Amino acid sequence: MSALLLDFAINHMSAPQLMLADFLSFARGLQVPRVEIRNDIAGNAILDGTAAPEVRRLAAENDVAIISINALQQFNHWSATRANEAEALVAYCAESGAKALVLVADNTGQGIDSDVRVENAVESLHGLLPILRRFGIVGLVECLGFETCSLRSKKEAVAAIDRVNGRDVFRLTHDTFHHHLAGEPGLFPELTGLVHISGVDDPAVAVGDMRDGHRVLVGPGDRLDNIGQIAALRRGGYRGPLSFEPFAEELRHLADPAAAVRKSMNFVIDGLKARAA
């Protein structure tokens, strides 16, 4: 398997200590010209007020494509406030050159009963559909694997997407961490638009106790079977971005973050080659 067949991307959370311009230069230096930018990194774009045209300019200057903005939080609890947030973020996507907006399910323990999960998602997707269509932006639905999440199951997300006839606009975000936590067997590669990859190396933490702070770059100690998940998605036809999204605090203090990401890229490439042999 050639490395050229893998469409790697870099989420800004891989190096949140870098300001946006430096992060885009970081991705360019790694020869990974696809990035996800975020609206939750304090003191950085987008929270620092950086205008969308400036983001577009910086991306063009570094010859980097913005595959998504991450994210509209609690997307599946619809309200006038959420609609306004969605309108602003989708417009920002369009003005900045981003192709998609990640839609993250609520994880506060509200709306987790089985009889309301799909209905809540349907209501929100119905509200989001005309906004996304108007701006030509894809909505990437992300189910979180935590027990407190109001939409853990990709199967339920697909049901909601189909209820609003939204396959022209909505895709799934397959997050290897959340998929492992949810324990859901279904993969839905045909409806997947983005894959987030991160690993958990800590041998002591129970699966039910895994949190974002445990998420590191994928390597030999990985307990989430990233290689198996990616291989299965590719067997199903997925050829989209594999975006590095670790959250561990230790990654903010690496002396050479580019070397760490490159090492993880090589691990994934070698692992998939071994699976194909």
Structural domains for the chain? 3-239+247-276 (3.20.20.150)
- Residue linked to tokens 């063009």: 60
Q: What is the pLDDT of residues 62-74, one digit of tens each?
A: 999 999 999 999 9
Q: What is the pLDDT of residues 111-146, one digit of tens each?
A: 899 889 999 999 999 999 999 999 999 999 999 999
35 touches 64 (CB < 8 A) = yes
Q: What is the pLDDT of residues 175-202, one digit of tens each?
A: 999 999 999 999 999 999 999 999 999 9
Residues 227, 233, 234, 240: what is their CA dihedral angle, to the nearest 10 degrees? -100
Cis peptide before 65 (omega within 30 of 0): no
Residue type (1 letter), 119: E
Listed residue (124, 129, 132) closest to 151, CA to CA: 124
Residue type (1 letter), 186: G
- Residue linked to tokens 């070698």: 270
192 touches 172 (CB < 8 A) = yes
pLDDT of residue 3: 41
Dihedrals phi, psi of 74, to nearest 5 degrees: 50, 40
Residue type (1 letter), 101: L
Structure tokens at 155: 């199967």
Rounded CA-CA distance 240/189 in Å is: 10
Residue type (1 letter), 64: V
Structure tokens at 60: 């063009």
